[in-house]
Structure 1
Amino acid sequence: MSKPVYGKNAVQSRNVEKISSYIWALGIGFIVFLVWTPFQVGLFNGQQIDFEKPIYVSSLLSSLLLLVWIGLYFTKFKLEGQRDLLAVASLLLPATYALSLIGAVSHYMAMNLLFIQSMYVAIFIIALYLLQQKQLNVVIQNAILAIAYFIVGFGLLNWLGSWKFAGGLVGWFSNTVRGGKYLDAVMTDSNGLRLTSIFQYANTYAAFLMAFLFVAVFALVRSKKWYGTLTHSFMLVPIIVSLLLTLSRGGLVMLPVVFILLLLFLKPAQQILWIIHLAISGIAALLVTSPLTTLGTELNTTFTSSAALKAWAYLLVASAVVAVLGWAVQRFASPRLQEKLGSWETRKLTGLWIPLGSIVLVAIVAFLLIGTSVRSILPDNIETRLENINFKQHSVLERITFYKDAMKVVKDYPIIGSGGGGWASLYEHYQNNPYVSRQVHNFFLQYLIEVGIVGFIVFMGFIGYIFYKYIRAYLKRDKDEFNNGFFFYIIALSILVHSLLDFNMSYAFMGILVFIGLAGMGAVMDNKPLRQSWNKAGLRFGYFAVLAIGSVFLLFLSISYIGSSNAALKGKNLVSVSQSYEEIKTPLVEALQSRPFHPESAIYLASLDLTVFKQTQDEQYLAEAYDVLSRALKDEPYNKDLLKQLISYYDLKGQSDLGFNVYRDNADKFNWDIDWYEALISRAQAFAAAANVQKDEAKKQEYLTAGLEAYQHVVDGVEHLKTLPPEQLQGRPFSITPTIALNAGKLQMLSGQAEQAAATLKLGFADNYADIVSSTTLWDTNWYSSLIARAFELAQQSFAQQDEANKIIHLNIGLDAYNQVASDLQGQPLPSSINLNAGKLQYMAGQVQAAAATLKLALSDDYSDAANREAARWYLAALKKSETAQDQTVYDKLIAADPAEAAEIDVIVNTQY
C-alpha cells in the first residue's frame, strides 16, 4: 500500500477528498508544461533574440504553477521531515545565482540563468509533493515516457526524410520550425549526418537516449500488463539505433558506466533480465543500423517513397521482433529467474557479481569494437568514430584544455562566480588557443564558474544529500517499483554522469528532467523527522512568504521581459524590411526600457542611429547611439559587437583615437581574435605615421609601442600554437596575416628596425607576393605601386574563382598599401597607376564613393592612352553605381575616343563584386 499523499503524518480523509481534484488539476498542468518545454526551450546560453522568449514564458508558467501549489499546500505544509527541509533548501539554488549578479560579467545572460534556475526550483518543489501520491506518480512517469518516445520517433521521422510531417506535428506550437522543417533535427559536421532530434546537438541527444534506454528497460521489466511489455520492448530498437546515429563517442563511453552503476541497485534476477533485454535489442539494432544509415543519408538528400518504406520496414520489423521476444522473456523466463534466484537476494554481496562480470564483458566488447576489425560490421561513419576513441583524440584534448581554462576563470572569480553565462562571456580572455566553445563541456565546472565556490557547495550539497538519502533508503527496504523512485534515479544519474563530458544541462528541458528526477528521489528518500522546533508557524509562514513573493516577482518580471523580447524581435525583423527610422526605432526603444543592457537591441538601435547620422549629419543621432552603447556596456563589458559599435561611433564622431583606445584597452579580452589584432595594429600604424608627419614624438612612440606590442602578442601566439599536440585542433585561424605584416613592418620601419621590417613582410605574405616582398627597395613609391597592382590582380583572380575569402585578403592588402603610401607622400600627388589600381580595389570592396574620388585623381586629358581610358571607365562606373550625377565631360571624351566604352561601363556596374 502507498503512503498518504501529504508525507509522513496523515491528514483527515475529508481534507484529502476536498483538495484531491485540485491536486489532479495541478498535476495535469504540470504534465502540460512538460509537453510544452521540449519543443520551446532549447540551448539557453546564447545571446539571440529568437531564443530568449521561451525562457521567460517558461518562467511565467512555472511561477503560476508554483502559486497554485502554494494555494493548495499552504495549510497542509509542515516542516516535519527532512524531505520538507529539501523544499526549503532548494531556494538557495536561485539565491546563489541572484548573488552572482553582483559581479556578473554579462547581466543579460546572468538574468536568463536566474530565470532558468528559478524555474527548476519551482518544478522541483511541485514535483516533490505531487510524486508522493502514487496515482499521480504513475501518471507523471507515463507522461515522461510518452514524451521521450515521441522525441525518439520525431528524430527518426526527420532521419528517414519525413521532415515535413515531423515539422507539421510540432510547428503549430514550436518556435524552431522554419519553412515546415524543424531546424537541425539532423545536423551535418565533419563526421557526416548526425541525428539530434529536438536538441540540435547530437551529444546531448545521446545523453537523453542513454537515460531513456535504461528507463525503458526498467519500465519493461516492471510492467505487469502485456501491452506495457510490448510497448517498452518495441521502443528499445529505435532508441539504440538513434543513439548510434548520433555518432556520439561520449554517449558510447558513458553508456556502460551508467549501466553498471544502475545494475548495482538491482536484484540478481532483475540484473539478468536487463542484460537479456539489452542484448536482444542491441543485436537487432546493430543488424539494421547499417541499412538505416545508408537509407537515411539518401533520404536526407533526395526523398523517395521506396527508400522511405524500405527504411521503415527495417526499423519496424526489428522493433516488432524484439517486442515479441521481450514479451516472451517477461512471460516465461522472468518468473523462473525470480524463483531460481530468489534465495540469492538474502545473501550479502550477491548483487555485485553480475555488475563485476558486466565490467569484464563491457571491456571485451569495447576491445572488440575499438581494437579489432569486428567494428567493420558497423556503418563506416560509426566505425570511424569508434576507431578514434582514445585519449589523444582531438575532442578529448580540447576538453582537457577547456577544463584547464575554466579553472583560470574560477581562480579570478572564486567566491560568488562570474554570473550566469560567465564562460560564454569570458572564454576568449582565458582560452589557451583559439577554439570556439561557448560551453565548458562539463556542467559542474560551468556551474562553478557561474556561481563560485559558495554556489557550487550549495548545489553539490543539495544533490549530494538527495542521492545519499535516496540510496540509503533504497538499500534498506524492499523495492516497490512505483514507490522507490528508481525511474527518477535513472534519469537524474544518467544525465548528470554524461554531463561530466558535455553541456547537457545547458538545455533547459534536460535540466527540468534532472530536477524532476531529483524530486522523484526526494519523494521516497529516507525521511527522518525533524525536531519539533522546525515546525513553528513562523518558519512555515516565512517560507511561504518568501516563496510567494519570489513567485509573484518572477511572474511580473517574466511578463515584463516577454514584452521586451516581443518588441526586440519586432525591431530586429523590421530592420531588414522597413525604411522608416521611427517604425524600426519604436520597438527597439521599448525593448530597452525594461532591459537597457539587452545586447542585440542596443546594437540594432545604435547601428540605426549611426546609419541615419551618415545620411543627415545630425549630431542628435550620434548622441543617442553613444547613450545606448555606453549604458549597455556597463552590464556587458565583454560584448565584442557592442565594443565594435562604439568604435564605429568614435570614427563617425571624428575621434578615431578614442576608437583606437577601445581596440587597445580591450585586446586582452579577445586574445585569439586575429581580426581584432589586425585592426589594432593597422590603426596603430596609421596614427604613428600621422604623428611622425606632425613631428609629435610622444604620440608617435605611444602608437609605435602599442602596435608593436600587439604584433609581438601575435608572434608569441603563433609560436605557442606550435606547442599544441598534433592531434589537437588549433581552432580559428591565428597567424601573421598580410595585413598585420604590412602594418607591423611599417611600424618597425618607423622605429628604425629596417631588417626586422623586411623579415616581417616575408612572414606574412604568401608565394604570390614573394618577388615583391623580397625587393631591395621596400617602402618606396614604386614598391607600393607594384604591391597594389598585384593585390588587384589577385583579387580579380579570386573573384573569378568565387573565392570570397582570398578576394577579401587581397583587397585588404591593396587598400592598406594605398593608405600607407598616401600617408607617406603627405598630400603630394600619387602616380596615376597607384590611383587607378587603388580605385579599382575600392570599387571591388564596395567603397564606390571613395573609388570615384580616387579614380578621378588618375585621369588625364589623353584619352588615346589605354590606362587613362580604363581609369575613366571605372570612374564613370563608380559614379553610376553610387547613383551620383554623371561627369558628362569625362563621359563625352571617353566615348569620343572609343564608343564601345559605354557598354564596358555597364559591364563593370552590373558585375556583383
Structure 2
Amino acid sequence: MSNPVYGKKAAASRNGEKFPAALWVLMVGLILFLVWAPFQAGVFNGLVLNFEKPIFWSVLVGSLLMLAWVASYYKQIKLEEQRDWMAVWVLLIPVTYLLSLITAASTYYAMNAVLIQCLYAILFIIGLHLLRSKLANSIIETTMIAVAYIIVLFGLFNWLGQGKTVSAMVGWFTKTVINGQYNQAVWIDANGPRLASVFQYPNTYAAFLMAFFFVAVFAITRSKKWYSQVIHAFMLVPMVLSILLTLSRGGLVFLPIVFIILLLFLKPAKQILWILYCVIAGVATIAVAKPVTNLGQQFHKGEIGDPAKGWLYVLGASIIVAVLAWLIQRFVAPWLEKRTEGWSAKKLANLWLPLVSVVAVVILAALLLGTNLKHVLPGNIGDRLENINMQQHSVLERLTFYKDAVKVIKDYPVIGAGGGAWAQIYEKYQNNPYQSRQAHSFVMQYLVEVGLLGFIVLVAFLAYVFYKYIRGYIRSDETKRNSYFIYFIIVFSLLIHSLMDFNMSYVFIGMLVFLGLGGMAAAMDNAPVKRLKLKPSGIRPLYSAVMVIGSLVLIFTSIRYIQANNAIEKGNALISTSTDFQEIREPFTDALKKRSNQPDAILTYNSLLKAAYQQTEEEAFYNEDLKLLTDALKKDEFNKNMYLQLISLYQLKGETDKAYDVLKDNADRYTYDQDWYEKLIVQSFELGYEALGSQDVAKKEEYFTAGLQAYDHVVRGVEHLKTLPKGQLQGGAFAVTPTMALNAGKMQYMMNKPAEAVEILKQGIGKDLNDPTSRESARWYLAALQKSGGNDQAVYDSLMQIDPSEKESIEEIAALNF
C-alpha cells in the first residue's frame, strides 16, 4: 500500500520514513507551537483586550507554518479527491466571518475572530496533509498527549501549594504569571477553590480533562510497549482527581455520555478493558480525593499545608493503577481477546456493553444523588453533585442566555452580528441583569456571530468530516483505526461539552479541535471527485497562490496588531513614569495608526486628551478627543465605555444636552443598566427644569416625558424580575433607586400630576430622613399629598422632628403652579 503523502518512493521506506527539510521545519514548528500555546490558554480569548497579543503571535506563527506547508506539499496539491477539497471547504469558515464584518456589532472583535478562524483553517489544512504520514502522526499525537499530561501535573502543583515553583518555569514566555503565580490556576468562587490549571476557567479545564482521560485509556489498550502502558495508566488518577477538583457539574454530566458513545466504536474486548480501567481509576481516585481536596483547600484558605503529603497520596494511587494496568495488559487483555472472538463476530456485538453501561450509569447517578453514597466524595464535590437538577441557577441561567441569543439571531439572521458580538450586544437583549460576556454555548454563540449562513457552513463541514471518518473507521482494519482514533476522541469530547459552555472561545481549545479534525479527515474514506476535472498544472499554482497571499496578508496584519499592542504597553508604562504629554501621547497615536479601532488605545488616549483639555481649556484637545470617540463609535457602536467617556466629555464642556442625547439614544442598548437609567432620569429632570425656567413648555414636556418613560421602563423591569424562576439568580442590581424616585416624582408633580407624583415619591423615602435624597423625597411627597388632598402624618412628624423649618419648604412647593 502506498504512502498517501509521499507516494511509492516514500512507501518503500515505511519504517524509516524520511522528510524533506521544509517538512521538518513545518513539523518542528507545529510541535513548538503546541507546547507554547497552552500556557497562553487562559488569556487566549479574543474578548480579553489586555491579553490578546498571544492570539496575534499565534496567527503569525500559523501563517509561517502555512508557507512551510506550501513549500512541502506543493506537488501534492491536486484537488482531485474528496479529501483534497476539504482543504478548500474549510476556507469558507473564515470567509463567513469576513462577511459578518458587514453587520458587525464591533469591527474590532469581529476582525480578531477572522484572524482566529484563519488560524483554525490553517491548522486543519496542515493536519489534513501532515497527519497522513505515519511518522508525523505519531510525533504530533505524542506531543499533544505529553502537553496534556504536563497541564494536568501543572494544575495539581498549583492545587497543592507549589504554584510559584512551576510558574517560575513558564513565566519567562507567558504574561499569565503575575507576581510569580500563574493567574487563577486555582479559581476561587462561592463554591471555594476550583482547579483550572492553565485555562483560568474550571469548566473548560474539565472538558479538556475528559477528552484526554479517554485518550489515556485508549492509549493503554492500544500500546504494545509496557512502559507506554504504564505512563498512560499512571496519569489516570491525576486526571480523574483533577476533574473532581474543578467542581464542574457539566464535566461530570458529560463524562458518562461521552464514555458510552466512545464505547460504541470499540470491539467487546476493548470495551471491557475501558470499563475496567475507568472503574479502577475511579476507585483509586475516590480513595485519595478527600485528603488531597482538603490539603488544597487549606492552602488556598491561607493555612500552612503539606504538599509532600498530598503528592504521596496522588503518586501512591497512580503507581498502583499503573501496575494494575500493566498486569491487565500483560495477562488479562490477551485472554479477553481470545474469549470474545466469537462475540465480536456477531452483528451489533459492540452495542450490548454500552447499553449495560447506560443502565449502570443511571443506577450510579441515582445512588450518588439520592443516597449517602455521595459522602465517599469530598464534601464540596458531593454538594455539587447533589445540586444537579434542571432548576439549579446555572442551568436556568444558561437557558436564559440561549433564549436571549435567539433574540439576537432574529435581528441578525443571515450573516450574524460578527465575531465577539455576544459580549458587546447581549445587554440589549438580556432577560435579566446578568453579567456574561459568553453565551455559554458554542452553538448559540456561533449563530449570533455568523448567522444561519455561517452556521450551515460549519455544521455541513463538521458533519461531512464525522460522516467520512466514521464510514472509513467502520471499513478499516484495527491498525488504521488505532492510528487516528485519538483525534476523534479529542474533537468529539470537546465539541460535545461545548454545547453548554464556551470552551471554543479559548483559542487553544479551538486549535486542538481543528487539528484533530484535520487528523480525522486525513484518515477518512477517500474517493475521487468525478464531476470536477481540474488539471493539477492549473489548480496547483492557483491554490498555492491563494494560500501564500493569504498567509502574507495574515503575517502583515498580525505584525501590525502586535506593534499596536506593544505601543499601548509602552504608553501605559510612560503614564506612570513621565510627565511629558507629547512623549506619552506618541505611543498611543502610533498604536491608532496601526489599528484605528483598538479600544484600549482609544480609551486611554481619550483620558489623556480630556485631562489636557481640563488643564489648558484649549479647544484643539476637546475637538481631537471628540473626533476620536465619535469615529470609534461608528465602528464599535455597542461600546459602553466609549459612550460613557463621550457623555463625560460633553458634560465637561457644559454641553449637557448632547450628553443627554447620548444617554437617551442608547438606553435601549443597556436594558438592565441601573446606573444608565438613573443618569437618564436625573438628566431628564434637570434639562426639563431648565426649560421650565426658560418658559419653553414644549421642551419641558419633551424632557419630562422621556424621563418618565425611562422610569416606567425600570418599573416594568422590576416587575418582570419578580417572575424569574425560584432557582434563578437575578444578577446585577436593578431597582427603582431613591434618586430615580425623587426625580421622576418631581417631573410628575411639575406636569401637574400630584397624585401620580405621590406614588412615585413615596418609594424614595428611606428610614433615615437625615439622608439628603430621602429628606428631599419626603418634602416633595408631603407637598404632593397636600396638593392632591391627602395626608401622611407619620412622615410629616418624622420630618418635623428633624427640622421644623421643613414646613415652610413643603408649603412653598405645594404653592408652586406649573
Q: What range describes the TM-score normalised by the shorter chain of this pair? A: over 0.9
2:124 counterpart of 1:105: no
Deviations 1:391-431 (A, max 9, x none): 01111111111111101111110111111011111100011
Larger Rg: 1
CA distance in 2, matches of 1:336, 1:10: 40
CA distance in 1, matches of 2:703, 2:578: 42
Q: Which moved more, 1:489-498 or 1:364-373?
A: 364-373
Please give the secondary structure, in 1, of the residue aligned with 2:184.
coil
Q: Do 1:44 and 1:508's aligned partners in 2 also have CA atoms closer than 8 Å?
A: yes
Q: What is the deviation of 1:380?
A: 1.2
Deviations 1:122-178 (A, max 9, x none): 111111111101011111111101000000000000000001112111101111001
Q: What is the deviation of 1:19?
A: 4.9
2:544 counterpart of 1:544: yes
Please give the secondary structure, in 1, of the residue aligned with 2:75.
coil
Q: What is the deviation of 1:22?
A: 3.0
| Residue equivalent to 1:269 | 269
| Residue equivalent to 2:465 | 466
Deviations 1:599-630 (A, max 9, x none): 12111111111111111111110011011111
* Amino acid of the structure 2 residue aligned with 1:433: N
Q: What is the deviation of 1:371?
A: 1.7
Q: What is the deviation of 1:71?
A: 1.1
* Amino acid of the structure 2 residue aligned with 1:524: A
| 1:740-755 alignment runs, 5 A limit | 740-755=740-755
| Residue equivalent to 1:379 | 378
* Amino acid of the structure 1 residue aligned with 2:32: V
CA distance in 2, matches of 1:466, 1:429: 37
| Residue equivalent to 1:715 | 715
Please give the secondary structure, in 1, of the residue aligned with 2:579.
coil
| Residue equivalent to 2:493 | 494
| Residue equivalent to 2:83 | 83
* Amino acid of the structure 2 residue aligned with 1:198: V
Q: What is the deviation of 1:583?
A: 2.2
CA distance in 2, matches of 1:337, 1:483: 18
Equivalent pairs, count: 791
Please give the secondary structure, in 2, of the residue aligned with 1:172.
helix
* Amino acid of the structure 1 residue aligned with 2:219: A
| 1:359-758 alignment runs, 5 A limit | 359-480=358-479, 484-531=483-530, 533-758=533-758
Please give the secondary structure, in 1, of the residue aligned with 2:768.
helix
Please give the secondary structure, in 1, of the residue aligned with 2:433.
coil
Q: What is the deviation of 1:576?
A: 4.0
CA distance in 1, matches of 2:416, 2:10: 44
Q: Do 1:42 and 1:508's aligned partners in 2 also have CA atoms closer than 8 Å?
A: no
CA distance in 1, matches of 2:545, 2:18: 24
In structure 2, the CA distance between the partners of 1:491 and 1:333, relative to structure 1 (3 Å rule), is same
Q: Do 2:757 and 2:781's aligned partners in 1 also have CA atoms closer than 8 Å?
A: no
Q: Do 1:8 and 1:81's aligned partners in 2 also have CA atoms closer than 8 Å?
A: no
CA distance in 1, matches of 2:334, 2:54: 48
| Residue equivalent to 2:791 | none
Please give the secondary structure, in 2, of the residue aligned with 1:468.
helix
2:210 counterpart of 1:213: no
Give the fraction of aligned pairs with identical amino acids, expressed as a percent: 51
CA distance in 1, matches of 2:334, 2:44: 47
Please give the secondary structure, in 1, of the residue aligned with 2:173.
coil
In structure 2, the CA distance between the partners of 1:324 and 1:413, relative to structure 1 (3 Å rule), is same
CA distance in 2, matches of 1:283, 1:461: 41
* Amino acid of the structure 2 residue aligned with 1:469: K
* Amino acid of the structure 1 residue aligned with 2:333: S
Q: What is the deviation of 1:5?
A: 4.4
Q: Do 1:45 and 1:424's aligned partners in 2 also have CA atoms closer than 8 Å?
A: no
How does the TM-score come out when normalised to structure 2?
Answer: 0.93
Please give the secondary structure, in 1, of the residue aligned with 2:424.
helix
Q: Do 2:209 and 2:239's aligned partners in 1 also have CA atoms closer than 8 Å?
A: yes
| Residue equivalent to 1:197 | 197
| 1:198-347 alignment runs, 5 A limit | 198-302=198-302, 304=304, 307-347=306-346
Please give the secondary structure, in 1, of the residue aligned with 2:188.
strand
In structure 2, the CA distance between the partners of 1:46 and 1:93, relative to structure 1 (3 Å rule), is closer
Please give the secondary structure, in 2, of the residue aligned with 1:360.
helix
Deviations 1:878-911 (A, max 9, x none): xxxxxxxxxxxxxxxxxxxxxxxxxxxxxxxxxx
CA distance in 1, matches of 2:166, 2:782: 63
| Residue equivalent to 1:800 | none
In structure 2, the CA distance between the partners of 1:223 and 1:47, relative to structure 1 (3 Å rule), is closer
* Amino acid of the structure 1 residue aligned with 2:87: A
In structure 2, the CA distance between the partners of 1:585 and 1:47, relative to structure 1 (3 Å rule), is farther
CA distance in 1, matches of 2:95, 2:778: 66
Q: Do 1:681 and 1:707's aligned partners in 2 also have CA atoms closer than 8 Å?
A: yes
Gaps of 5+ in 2: 787-794
| 1:177-188 alignment runs, 5 A limit | 177-188=177-188
CA distance in 2, matches of 1:776, 1:428: 36
Q: What is the deviation of 1:767?
A: 2.8
Q: Do 1:49 and 1:568's aligned partners in 2 also have CA atoms closer than 8 Å?
A: no
* Amino acid of the structure 2 residue aligned with 1:426: I
Please give the secondary structure, in 2, of the residue aligned with 1:725.
coil
How does the TM-score come out when normalised to structure 1?
Answer: 0.84
Q: What is the deviation of 1:13?
A: 6.9
CA distance in 1, matches of 2:631, 2:518: 41
CA distance in 2, matches of 1:760, 1:10: 87
Please give the secondary structure, in 1, of the residue aligned with 2:523.
coil
CA distance in 2, matches of 1:110, 1:354: 46
CA distance in 1, matches of 2:124, 2:360: 38
CA distance in 2, matches of 1:212, 1:651: 56
Q: Do 1:592 and 1:601's aligned partners in 2 also have CA atoms closer than 8 Å?
A: yes
Runs of 4+ in structure 1 over 6 Å off: 7-18
Identify which of structures 1 and 2 has the higher relative contact order when contacts are C-alpha pairs closer than 8 Å and 6+ apart. 2
In structure 2, the CA distance between the partners of 1:337 and 1:470, relative to structure 1 (3 Å rule), is same
CA distance in 1, matches of 2:443, 2:541: 34
Deviations 1:765-818 (A, max 9, x none): 44334995785764779x9xxx9xx99xx9xxxxxxxxxxxxxxxxxxxxxx9x
Q: Which moved more, 1:310-319 or 1:267-276?
A: 310-319
| Residue equivalent to 1:72 | 72
Q: Do 2:674 and 2:733's aligned partners in 1 also have CA atoms closer than 8 Å?
A: yes
Please give the secondary structure, in 2, of the residue aligned with 1:500.
helix
CA distance in 2, matches of 1:200, 1:722: 34
* Amino acid of the structure 2 residue aligned with 1:502: D
CA distance in 2, matches of 1:657, 1:639: 21
Q: Do 2:66 and 2:551's aligned partners in 1 also have CA atoms closer than 8 Å?
A: yes
CA distance in 2, matches of 1:589, 1:566: 12
Q: What is the deviation of 1:343?
A: 2.0
CA distance in 1, matches of 2:46, 2:140: 31
Please give the secondary structure, in 2, of the residue aligned with 1:470.
helix
CA distance in 2, matches of 1:358, 1:44: 37
RMSD (Å), alpha carbons: 2.5
| Residue equivalent to 1:172 | 172
CA distance in 2, matches of 1:493, 1:534: 34
Q: Do 2:560 and 2:595's aligned partners in 1 also have CA atoms closer than 8 Å?
A: no
Q: Do 2:44 and 2:54's aligned partners in 1 also have CA atoms closer than 8 Å?
A: no
Please give the secondary structure, in 2, of the residue aligned with 1:194.
strand
Deviations 1:837-891 (A, max 9, x none): xxxxxxxxxxxxxxxxxxxxxxxxxxxxxxxxxxxxxxxxxxxxxxxxxxxxxxx
Deviations 1:577-597 (A, max 9, x none): 433322221111111112211
CA distance in 2, matches of 1:774, 1:143: 68
In structure 2, the CA distance between the partners of 1:356 and 1:320, relative to structure 1 (3 Å rule), is same
Q: Do 2:469 and 2:520's aligned partners in 1 also have CA atoms closer than 8 Å?
A: yes
CA distance in 2, matches of 1:469, 1:8: 22
Gaps of 5+ in 1: 795-816, 826-913
Q: Which moved more, 1:534-543 or 1:287-296?
A: 534-543
Q: Which moved more, 1:294-303 or 1:150-159?
A: 294-303
Deviations 1:295-325 (A, max 9, x none): 10112234646x2111111111011111111
CA distance in 2, matches of 1:661, 1:9: 73
| Residue equivalent to 2:134 | 134
* Amino acid of the structure 2 residue aligned with 1:298: Q
* Amino acid of the structure 1 residue aligned with 2:753: Q
Q: Do 2:128 and 2:518's aligned partners in 1 also have CA atoms closer than 8 Å?
A: yes
